[in-house]
A and B are shown apart, each in its own frame.
Chain A
Amino acid sequence: MELITARAVRALFGGTCDLVERPVTAGGQALTLFFIDGLTSGGDIADFVLRPLAENVAPGPMASILRQAKDGAVYSAVAESVRTAAQAADKLVNGFCVLVLPGMPEAVCYEVKTGEKRSPAPPESENTIKGAKDAFTETVRTNTSLVRRHLRAPELRFEPFTVGERTRTNVTLCYLAGRTDPALAERMRQRLRSLHPEGLLSPAAVEELVTGSRRTAFPMLRVTERTDSFCQGLLAGQLGLIADGLPEGFLAPVSLGALMDSPEDRAVDYISASCLRVLRYTALFAGLLLPGLYAAMAVFHQQMLPTRLLLAIIESKKDVPLPTLLEVLGLLAAFELLQEAGLHLPQAVGTAVSIIGGLVVGTAAVDARLVSPAALIVAAAAGICGFTLPSRDLSDAIRVWRFALTFLGGLFGLLGLTVGLLALLVHLSGLQSLGRAYLAPFASATGGGAILRRPYTPEGGKMS
């Protein structure tokens, strides 16, 4: 078997400047200590590795030094052996230092991770007034500890995987044994083992790789930055994924009902929560259908509008040069542009852009008779309805379908809109997340239970 050597480790990293090579003498033998600057703590290396090596290791042959280094002469809490340079490299990039002993078949790795990492902070996009305020960070071990603090059951399982040929991203599969279907966990394990991408650096990469090639805009995993939501999912039997470098947790399988569930629902009483959910579902349909309905009504079905409303719309559109369909599609596109611009600008400038774009340009466009106030209100209302959805990914999917339905409504009226809606229903019915139907909560006659939140019961009944 090829021996692990300092030269092999050095060659793997090709002279990168952050790989530090430190010659060490212990027990009268010359050894080499490797670590990566920035990932490790210099103080810990000096205090808990170098000092014990110099002071505690008794002189002797190299095999004796190896035995002492592994069996307690060094104070590091975690000491592991590796036998190849690749394994040593894997440990190095994960915050270990590697002690290479010339002529020995194995090297010893000590965990000396740096303590420099972001502390858990309140969630940025899933805010609630009441409830837990801790959100995931970019460090997988911090995240698992946060989950463990919420779920102290010994049945909570974490299984490590490494994904990404270049990024070597640590991905942790989480589930609650006895609560999660073992077949689901096995399916996810196989999926994670079969992944060999170059890298895993973004939430979309996790979702698309884990769920496989998909032809839908709808999310197949639920992404949450809230640890309590993540744990709630685990309690409900979902599988969790935490990837190093991503301040989010991923839950699967997911359904439309689960995506409409907001952390706020669990922060308020079940009656208020149920009312909010009904409002949210109304917003879902309004955000999806309102522009299409307006286009269909204004072009094809004027007789369906109340007379006063129709007269108001006719009056407001008198001098507008654009056809209704183009007007609505243009306003929806402008809304998307504003949203995109706001995302990519610093917060202070983003607010200014929103004010200038939304208020000044919007008002000017209406005054100049480029668009009608009715169309502007419809586009804005649809946009606001989209913002009420708790899942950003679901909201994005709705935005895509909103355009399609508006197009059909403006070209073919209510019939086109109905055909589009049916196509959406067929599409959603065919979607599966880890083998579970996307519309599962609404499949039974008691589908209303997916919309309303059930009260907590003393017996610890499952929450919807």
Chain B
Amino acid sequence: MRRTNGWLFAAAALLLAAVLPARGTETASLQPAQVLLITEENGRVTARCDSGASGVGDDLERALFNMERTANGTLFLGTVEYVILGPGAYELLPQAALSARLRPAARVCCALGTPDDLEALPDFFTAHRTRATLAQEKAALLGEQPVAVPILAVGGERMELISGLDG
């Protein structure tokens, strides 16, 4: 009985080792992104994040894929907290809401203008919290009550939320 258990254990260990190749990513090698800016021009979608990575594609998924592929390191989109839809990219909101690469809890807003300094945005949004999230937008796509997407006015270095402010 003990011998059988031993063999079973060995077989299970072998199966585990074979089925689960160690494909982890060291945390230290991750390049976390907190802000994702999506723009569209001439039918080409551009994704850019505050870590400096960017990618271009025919649709949002392709742009995100290219951004991850060309990033200097392992780009980690699991930390994206703010998705900004830049001029011309408002129609991409459904794609962003349905994207498996982006966190459903990420907050979304539409920008009137293109913010230059993406790294400043987390502090701005911490001070001015917005309501709409990708999960809510996805729910709206499935028939739930739609949530108005906040609008961010950008003028040079100055930014202002003109709607959708939380509370």
User: Hey, which bits of chain A sit against chain B, CB under 8 A?
Assistant: 298-300, 302-303, 307, 310-311, 313-314, 317-320, 323-324, 410-413, 415-416, 419, 423
Contact = CB atoms under 8 A, between A and B. Distances in A.
A376 to B, nearest CB: 15
B101 to A, nearest CB: 11
Nearest to B81: A307
A416 B27 contact: no
A303 B76 CA distance: 9
Contact of B76 (A302, A318, A324, A410): A302
B26 A324 contact: yes
12 contacts: A303-B103, A307-B81, A310-B79, A317-B27, A318-B28, A412-B22, A413-B20, A415-B20, A416-B16, A416-B20, A419-B12, A419-B16
A310 B32 contact: yes
B155 interface: no
B78 interface: yes
Contacts of A311: 32, 34, 79
A279 to B, nearest CB: 30
B24 interface: yes
Q: Which bucket holds chain B's interface residue count?
A: 10 to 19
B42 interface: no
Contacts of A415: 16, 20
B20 A302 contact: no
B147 interface: no
B79 A307 contact: yes
A299 B20 CA distance: 14
Contacts, number: 55
Contacts of A298: 26-27
A214 to B, nearest CB: 13
Contacts of B28: 314, 317-320
A307 B16 CA distance: 30
Contact of B25 (A302, A320, A412, A423): A302
Contacts of B34: 307, 311
Contacts of B14: none
A299 B22 CA distance: 10
Contacts of A419: 12, 16
A314 B30 contact: yes
Contact of B24 (A299, A303, A313): A299
A319 B23 CA distance: 21
Contact of A413 (B24, B26, B27, B79): B24
B16 A299 contact: no
Nearest to B27: A298
Given A300-B24, A423-B9, 6 more contacts: A298-B26, A299-B24, A302-B30, A314-B30, A317-B28, A412-B16
Contacts of A310: 27, 32, 78-79
